[in-house]
Every structure is written in C-alpha cells, then in structure tokens.
Amino acid sequence: MPYAQVAVACPLHQVFTYIIPENLAAQLKPGQRLVVPFRKKEVIGFFLSITTELPPGLDEKKLKEIIEIRDEVPVFSEKMIRFLLWLSDYYMAPIGTVCAAALPSKLCQVKSKNAAKPRVKEDDHAHFHQKDVLNLNGEQQAALDFLIGQHSKEDGPRTALIHGITGSGKTEVYLQFITEILKKDQQAILLVPEIGLTPQLIGRVQSRLDEEIAVYHSGLTETQRQLYWEKMRQGKLRVAVGTRSALFAPFQNLGAIIIDEEHDGSYKQGDGGFFYHARDAAIVRGKLEGATVVLGSATPSLESFHNAKQGKYHYIQLSERATGAKLPEVSLIDLRQEKFAPGSKTLSPTLKNAISENLYRGEQTLLFLNRRGYAHFIICEDCGKAMECPNCAITLTYHKNPSALVCHYCDYRAQVLESCPHCKSSALKPLGQGTEALEEELRAFFPEAKVMRLDRDTAGKRDHRNNVLHQMKKGTVDILLGTQIVAKGHDFPNVTLVGVILADASLHLPDFRSAERTFQLLTQVAGRSGRADKPGKVLIQTFHPEHFSLLCARDHQFETFSAKELQSRQDLDYPPFSRLTQIRLQGISEQNVEETALSLKKFLSNLSGISGSHFLHILGPAPAPLTKVRGKYRWHFLVKSNNPKRLKHLLEQTRHFAQNHLPPKIQLSIDVDCLHLM
C-alpha cells in the first residue's frame, strides 16, 4: 500500500507518513501543499514522495489520513524538492522548516487558501536609472561573451566569479547577460545584499528590461510577496531581484542566478529560520537547474577567490573603471600623531580641511562611520560603570533625538538617567561618537552646507532613504554621512571625497574574518569616490595605520591582501582550508547552559582528532563573545574539519544529543559554514 511522505514545519528532523485516501490518490503530485492532522490540529504539510514501506516501528493503525490537497499545480517542482532536501541535509535543518522558508508565509497557513490580488505599490525607483544600453569596454565585452558562451555549453562548471574593481561596470554586464537569458525564454534571479539600500538597481533593471520584475525584500507585505510569487510561478514575471529569499523564486526554466556583492555577510541567514548561505546555496540550485551562476564583487570573499584560483569557478577580472576614471587616491591619517581638530571629537584637521575645500569646489563628500546613535555608550566617570542592557551583555547606545538609551540587539529602550544607577553620581559622560553626534558636529562646522544622514535609524523610513539618494544624485546634498548603508552599491558622480571616521571599529572584533571585513568595507566605501570625470580622494582615520589590511586597502592591493590572509588561514586551518561550524547552546539559566555545554563536550570528545591528512578539531566550549542576548546566556563550540563525512557524523551525533539529552529550556543550534561568531 502506498503512503505519503510529508514534511511539516516543526523542529523535528524527519518526514511524516500519512495514509492517502482513495478519493485523493489520483490528484496527488510531489510538491503539493496538503492539509494534514498534526498534534491535535490541522496544519499545512508538503508532499515529497510516495513510499510503499512503513518506517520501522510505525504501526499502520496509528497513521492518519491526508485531509485535503491544496494545490492543483505543485508549489515545488521536482528540481526544487531536490534543492530543498539538499539544504536540509547540508545545513542540518528540519525539512519542514526549509520548505516553509521557501514560500511566502501566507501559503503555509491553513486558513489562507488562494493568493489575494492586491495592487503592489510601486517603490520609488524612477529617479535612479537610465534606459539606454551602455557600450561595454573590452573587458566587459569579454566577460559577457564568456558568460554567453559558457551558458550555451552542455557541461563544465557553470559558476563564474567576476572580480571587478569598484566602478568597473559589473551591473551592466549582469543586465546584458540577463537580456540574453530572456531571449532564450528562460528566467533569471539577481540577488543583492540589501535591496532597500539599492533602489537605483531595481529601477535600472526594470526600465532596461522593459518589463515588470518581481521584487523580494523585507519592505513588502506578505500579501505583496505572495502576489509576486504567484506571478513568477505562472510565468508572468521572468526576473526576480531581491535579497537572499529571492533564491527560492518558483521559476520553471531558470537560466541564471547572479549574486552581486557576493562577499556580503547579509547573504547568510542569521537567527530565525535556518542558517543557510544564499551564495553557496545558489551554486547548488544552479547545478540542479542547469543555470549559470555569476558571483560579482570588487572584494570577493576569500572562499570564492580561492575556489576561482583552484579552478572550481571561472575567474573573470575587470581591472578598469567603465568610465575610464582612475581609482581614488587613498591616504591613512594616523590619529596617534594627528589629534582631532579643535571643537571636534571625530574629525582630524586634515579631514576637516578637505571637507571645507570640497565644499568650496561645489563637490560632494561622503563620510562613513559604522556606529549608529549619538554615542557608543554612557559611562560614569566616578565609578567607571557603563550603562548596560539588562537583556544582553552589551552597553546601551545613547541616542539624542529622540533621547533614549537603546540596545541594537534586542531593541530594549530606557530613558537617559540623570544619575548613575550604581553609585548615584551625576558624572555621566557619553563616549564613542556615533552618526548622530557627527551630524551635529558637521552642521556646526559647516552651517552653509546641506548635511544628510543615512543609517538604520533613518533608512527605515523609505521616503527619507529615497529622498536622500535622489538628492545625492541631483547634487543638492553637500555632505552625506552614514553607516554601511552608504558604502554599498551607490553611484554618485559628484562625490570626490570619502572620509572614513574610524577604520579600527571592525578591525579588533573577536573573529578571524575581521581583517577581511575591514579590507572589504574600506575598499567598498573608498570606491564611492571619483567615479566620474573628477579625480577622487579618500582619507581614512585610524589608530593602526600599519595594519596590513589598511595598507592593502590604501594601495588597492587585493592580491597582496588575499595572499597574506589566505596563508594565515591555511596555517590555522580556517576556511577556505576547512569547514567551520558553530554549535551554540542558550538558555535563561547561565549555570544550566554551562553544564549542558560541558556535558556535550564529554559526549563528543571521542570524535575529534587527526587521521592521516584529515582532521576534526572541536574548540570549546566557551562563553560566546556576546555572552547574553535577549535574556539568554550563550555558550558555543567551533568545529573545524577538512573531512565532510567526519564533520557530518559529529553534527548528527550533536543532533542526537539534543533530541535525547537536552535539558528543558535549553536550545541548541547548528550553524554550518558559520560567518558570524558573535
């Protein structure tokens, strides 16, 4: 007798077996949504396959029947089912959770039957595009020709890395390649790190292709997301532009997946859902679909660059700016030698004078400071205590307008106190300038200048974000300051000066990738300068001007940086020379979390070691760098291995431990190929 194997969105790592009623048997197809009974209620399940044998120990008398088939046309194709099963297996995630993550949330609800038909409100992209196809230079044309030729081949690697300096015209290559894909009656996915920060790209794609595109980002309502999804499945939309979730676009004949700024950490899913990396997953989906995968970046991740150098990916280099402009001149300002300008807590005299000269010439300045708020924290000068979040092991950031102390991890907010809660002293002092304080300083120093700020506190208001970017394009903003938002993907022709307020902010985090992230960030933000016919200048303030990542960023030396950093990674068995997995335990009792971590260590201790040329190292357990977040204490392990089978066995044993020995109120998570160690 045939039975249905069904995935249900729950934390259990298994599929569930259901009886197929006779009246539904002829309609059943893999990939359909079903309504099934589960734990005394009705839920949406995902039909994966038929089995004729019951799993061991399962009594047919205890099986329940499928209640309803939700879809005439399956929501998942056979290729998509294979992709979802791979994701579940590789990232150690429950298959039901993976299936649910691939769909708009309304399609995973029993009450919601059919897609609604609202009008999707158009985002304000009209200011940020040109319709004309640009002429490619020699390097761009060679890159496009290669991609088109490779796409036509039946076999061989289908992944290419375009390593193009900032301003080299990677986007134009993407657009012309997508045009070729559409001519073959195929579909394309274009992934960007944060779609809310690059509205000009959406408008450019939509106008150039002269057809509606599906836009997937967090600003959409669930109804809008579902409408786009339905249109893609029906073939009415052929191009999806979005963040990592757009990887699951339900295209039937996918021709290309393009990952812009492939190095960006935003492609890695963090807490919530399951821990997958959209870039790495895209390569697997591309193989399953026979699609070409294009990775693009001015500062490729060392993993992708190493894979390209090893021949796993095709390597395409764009070494010239598309406009013919030169890369900007970059200088390091040693803050140990040059103190801040009089009346300033952020600007050196050199940077302040350069801003003044730029204003005089009528050119725009972009300032980068990766700290939101007015001050990084408030400290008591008498007892030395800083104001901390009660839920997280981190100081509260002082925001001046509106006045509040805010935790950027759990969103806890408190009033700014007039006296220290520890010693009652009134000697409270804000330390570590943020973007709010810098904005206040700039307005005081340059009262005639139009100053605007763009960070997460202001970018959440879409109209403000689009207004700022529009005015930057028009040239009506003199000084734009912000966090990482201003560093990514923007093309402002009249920006000739970029100032980095403190390059050290990301350099000393407890993470082996801190040097790489610093190099990438500095290179990206420096690349906003001098993109048109006027020469660009970049001034980087730092207390560590001798650090090799800063020196390489100053000299535009990616190869020098990557060679040194890759050698260091190889010496320490870090990625790309091993796979790194984080196992994290968290709970409200610090003692219980620690005891559970030590118990897990004992359970896993016989699995680590070296066998021939293969190794598996278990580091920890230890308190996580952020020991407490949202009221939960955290301990973690790092597991390094160059043997996928041994690593998989250890992770399966870890999952076995969690199912059988995990105390109540302790959660265990496994982050395969972890990016963020905090």
- Model pLDDT, residue 116: 45
pLDDT(450) > 90: yes
Going from the C-alpha of 277 to that of each of 59, 266, 394, 536, 675, the distances in angstroms are 39, 9, 27, 35, 9
φ, ψ of residue 80 to 5 degrees: the values are: -70, -35
Helix pair 435-445, 349-361: axis angle to 10 deg? 60
pLDDT average, residue stretch 418-438: 82
**CATH, domain range 138-318:** 3.40.50.300
Burial of 86 (0-12, 13-18, 19+ CB in 10 A): middle
**In sequence order, what DSSP letters do the residues of 477-494 get, joined into one string?**
-SEEEESGGGGSS---TT
Going from the C-alpha of 146 to that of each of 163, 233, 261, 312, 674, the distances in angstroms are 14, 30, 20, 16, 32
pLDDT average, residue stretch 344-368: 93
141 confidence band (pLDDT: 50, 70, 90): very high
Query: For the chain, what is the mean pLDDT?
Result: 88
Q: Per residue in 454-504, pLDDT tens? A: 877 665 566 777 788 888 888 899 999 988 777 776 778 788 999 999 888
Alpha-carbon distance of 187 to 415, in angstroms, equals 51
- Model pLDDT, residue 113: 61
- Model pLDDT, residue 127: 44
pLDDT(271) > 50: yes
% of the chain exceeding 70 in pLDDT = 93
- Model pLDDT, residue 164: 93
pLDDT average, residue stretch 529-551: 89
Q: Per residue in 278-324, pLDDT tens? A: 999 999 999 999 999 999 999 999 999 999 999 999 999 999 988 88
pLDDT average, residue stretch 176-194: 94
- Model pLDDT, residue 157: 62
Topology (CATH) of 329-372+434-558: Rossmann fold (3.40.50)
* Residue whose C-alpha is closest to residue 91's, from 676, 652, 662: 652
| Secondary structure (3-state) at 29 | coil
Q: Per residue in 579-618, pLDDT tens? A: 999 999 999 999 999 999 999 999 988 888 787 788 999 9
Q: Per residue in 394-415, pLDDT tens? A: 777 878 777 888 887 778 888 8
Its pTM stands at: 0.90
- Model pLDDT, residue 98: 96
φ, ψ of residue 566 to 5 degrees: the values are: -65, -35
- Model pLDDT, residue 18: 94
Q: Indicate the range of 247-251, 418-422, 520-524 predicted with least confidence.
A: 418-422
Q: Per residue in 519-537, pLDDT tens? A: 999 998 888 887 777 888 9
- What is the rounded (10 degree) CA torsion for 650, 656, 661, 664? 110
- Model pLDDT, residue 401: 73
% of the chain exceeding 90 in pLDDT = 57
Class of domain 3-108: alpha beta
| Secondary structure (3-state) at 618 | strand
Question: Looking at residue 415, what DSSP letter applies?
Answer: P
User: Which two structure tokens, joined as six digits, stand for 510?
Assistant: 């407890």
- Model pLDDT, residue 234: 93
Class of domain 579-672: alpha beta
pLDDT average, residue stretch 34-45: 94
Beta-bridge partner residues of 333: 541
Alpha-carbon distance of 222 to 399, in angstroms, equals 32
Q: Indicate the range of 273-277, 458-462, 554-558, 643-647 predicted with least confidence.
A: 458-462
Domains 329-372+434-558 and 579-672 in one fold: no
* Total number of residues shown for the chain: 678
Q: Per residue in 606-659, pLDDT tens? A: 888 787 788 999 998 999 888 888 899 999 999 999 999 999 999 999 999 998
pLDDT(217) > 70: yes
Alpha-carbon distance of 541 to 525, in angstroms, equals 13
Alpha-carbon dihedral sign for residues 350, 354, 355, 357: positive
pLDDT(201) > 60: yes
- Model pLDDT, residue 255: 95
Alpha-carbon distance of 261 to 279, in angstroms, equals 10
pLDDT average, residue stretch 52-67: 84
Q: Indicate the range of 174-178, 254-258, 304-308, 424-428 predicted with least confidence.
A: 424-428
Query: Is the bond leading into 104 cis (omega within 30 degrees of zero)?
Result: no
Residue spans of the domains in the chain: they are 3-108, 138-318, 329-372+434-558, 579-672
Q: Per residue in 99-139, pLDDT tens? A: 999 999 999 998 876 544 444 444 444 444 556 678 899 99
